[in-house]
Amino acid sequence: MFKDTIVALSSSYGISAIGVIRISGNNVEDIIRNHLRKSFKPKKMYYNWFIDNEKKIDEITWTFHKGPKSYTGEDMLEIFCHGGPKIIEELITILKRYSRDAIEGEFSKRAVLNNKMDLIKAESINNMIHSETELSLDASRNQVTMGLSKDISKIEKDLLDLSTEIEVELDYPDDIAFESESDTLKNKVDSIIKAGKEILLNADNGIMAVHGIKTAIVGKPNSGKSTLLNALLRKDRAIVTDIPGTTRDTIEENLNIKGIYLRVIDTAGIRESEDKIEKIGIQKSIDSIKNSDLIIFIVDGSNPNKDDEKIFEKINKDYKNKELIIVLNKNDDKNFVQPFFLKNYHYISISAKEGNIKDLEEEIYKKFINKLTIKKPLLTNSRQKDILKETLNHLEKASNNIENGISKDFIMFDIRKALEKIYELNGKNYNEEMLNNLFSNFCVGK
Ligand code: GDP
């Protein structure tokens, strides 16, 4: 399918024992014949010098994969050379007589376009590479090993069978008794909806496991938000650096609390409050909640008042669906009291200033550990979740139309729409911009 040959260093730059270079495309066999061996077989590992114009460049091991039986589906060469930057540079310079630099994720993109794997699997593999906590690695790996692609393929197959069936009926309308037949048709659509809903059920947990729990620290000015954030950050933890598949429109800090990955969002507002307290109103604090999965509502225990109650009322009224942890801060202060409005609520008492936040960390862990360790293949990004939701919307419509005896043309219309969405989910139906965008989160050489 692709004419040009691409090359990339698949291991990291810098000095290492071994460097891995990958080449994919039509010129691979020429490269091998001109620089490595005249005769060779696929899937065999060879060990010899890479020669260029009679000059010995490096002694390497290498494997040839004949397309379509390769990662990309094209001819591929994988070279394991000595991992010195100069050696790698020399080799890649020679290889570029036959090829061009691959861009991010281009090998995987070719694999998807050549039907070697579907988009869901490509995304999961990328998530595995980017995982920085055990839980995110587990969730991404489950998606690969427990066969989410298989579950989606089953939905695809059922939809295809269904549309064939309806098409036959549209062609030969008189052959089939409509009444009894429409019952089974509805059952079939409903059972596909059920399968889809089961996958959707845990999608949010999958997304949180892989991409982090979006957390808003909310409270009136001076309640201790910034002190708490610093206390959480000060601990010796891995700071997660990059998040695949997300855009960052807010400034955030990333935390790893006993393996649970938290993304504290809108920290600009929190940080700002250190200097410009007068500018930060209650509204600003509330704004950060909208995008969050978890709200940490912090109350100044040395000075609780109406402002805390106002925020609390708002949270209870508008954000009931989010996880909430109530924190009563400044328990080291002599004026520390339990405010009346929290009388019937479970809260955690802390001193952010003295770093006494163990109970809070424990609470976060307890709240999420079960959600994030579900042993099922989960959808792990909002692209997948949104598309599956749209698929089910079309199917719900179809199901209703069948029930209301609406003409089969209309039912067919929604089944087709649902099928198109499934193709979008697994990458059989794509547009270039979407694919480029998605693969730009991948590493070069992957
Ligand atoms: P923010 O406006 O909510 O971000 O609040 P800050 O974190 O800036 O804290 C406001 C003031 O409360 C600062 O003077 C902090 O030192 C103080 N403070 C924060 N946490 C505690 C605490 O646990 N105990 C005591 N005694 N003071 C605290």
Q: What is the pLDDT of residues 167-184, one digit of tens each?
A: 887 777 665 555 556 678
Give residue 320 CA to ligand 1 midpoint distance, Å: 27
pLDDT band at 253 (very low <50, low <70, confident <90, very high): confident
DSSP code per residue over 25-82: STTHHHHHHHHT-SS--TT-EEEEEEEETTEEEEEEEEEEE-TTSSSSSS-EEEEEEE
pLDDT of residue 29 exceeding 80, the answer is yes
Is the alpha carbon torsion for 378, 384, 386, 392 positive or negative?
A: negative
When the candidates are 3.40.50.720, 3.40.50.970, 3.40.640.10, 3.30.1360.120, the CATH number that belongs to 6-117 is 3.30.1360.120
Confirm or reject: Cβ of 223 under 6 Å from ligand 1.
Answer: yes
pLDDT of residue 441 exceeding 90, the answer is no
Q: Any binding-site annotation on 266?
A: yes
Quick one: how far is CA 329 from the chain centroid? Answer: 34
Confirm or reject: Cβ of 224 under 6 Å from ligand 1.
Answer: yes
pLDDT of residue 376 exceeding 80, the answer is no
* Strand, helix or coil for residue 23: strand
Output 355-361 pairs: Cβ under 8 A, ≥24 positions apart.
Answer: 355/231, 355/234, 356/331, 356/332, 357/228, 357/231, 357/232, 360/296, 360/325, 360/327, 361/232, 361/257, 361/258
| 198-228 residue pLDDT tens | 999 888 888 898 889 999 999 888 899 888 9
Give residue 223 CA to ligand 1 midpoint distance, Å: 6
Confirm or reject: Cβ of 267 under 6 Å from ligand 1.
Answer: no
Across the range 244-266, mean pLDDT stands at 69
* Atom 9 of ligand 1, nearest CA residue: 224
User: Apex CA 24: angle with CA 18 and CA 26, to 5°?
Assistant: 140
pLDDT of residue 238 exceeding 70, the answer is no
* Atom 6 of ligand 1, nearest CA residue: 224
What confidence score (pLDDT) does residue 181 get? Answer: 67
What confidence score (pLDDT) does residue 267 get? Answer: 64
**Whole-number Å distance between alpha carbons of 254 and 303:** 29
pLDDT band at 322 (very low <50, low <70, confident <90, very high): very high
* Atom 2 of ligand 1, nearest CA residue: 222
Across the range 90-95, mean pLDDT stands at 97
pLDDT of residue 250 exceeding 70, the answer is no
| 114-170 residue pLDDT tens | 999 888 888 888 888 888 888 888 888 888 787 788 889 999 999 999 998 888 877
Q: Any binding-site annotation on 22?
A: yes
pLDDT band at 237 (very low <50, low <70, confident <90, very high): very low
The pair of structure tokens assigned to 374 is: 């579900």
Give Dmax over CA atoms of the chain in angstroms. 86
CATH 3.30.1360.120 spans which residues of the chain?
6-117
CATH superfamily of 121-202+380-426: tRNA modification GTPase MnmE domain 2 (1.20.120.430)
User: Apex CA 419: angle with CA 422 and CA 204, to 5°?
Assistant: 35
**Whole-number Å distance between alpha carbons of 124 and 145:** 10
CATH superfamily of 210-372: P-loop containing nucleotide triphosphate hydrolases (3.40.50.300)
CATH 1.20.120.430 spans which residues of the chain?
121-202+380-426
Residue among 353, 356, 359 whose CB has most ligand 1 atoms within 8 A, to mutate: 353
Return the percentage of the chain with pLDDT > 90, whole number. 54
User: Which residues make Cβ contacts (< 8 Å) with residue 445, sequence separation at least 6?
Assistant: 8, 9, 10, 11, 20, 22, 102, 107
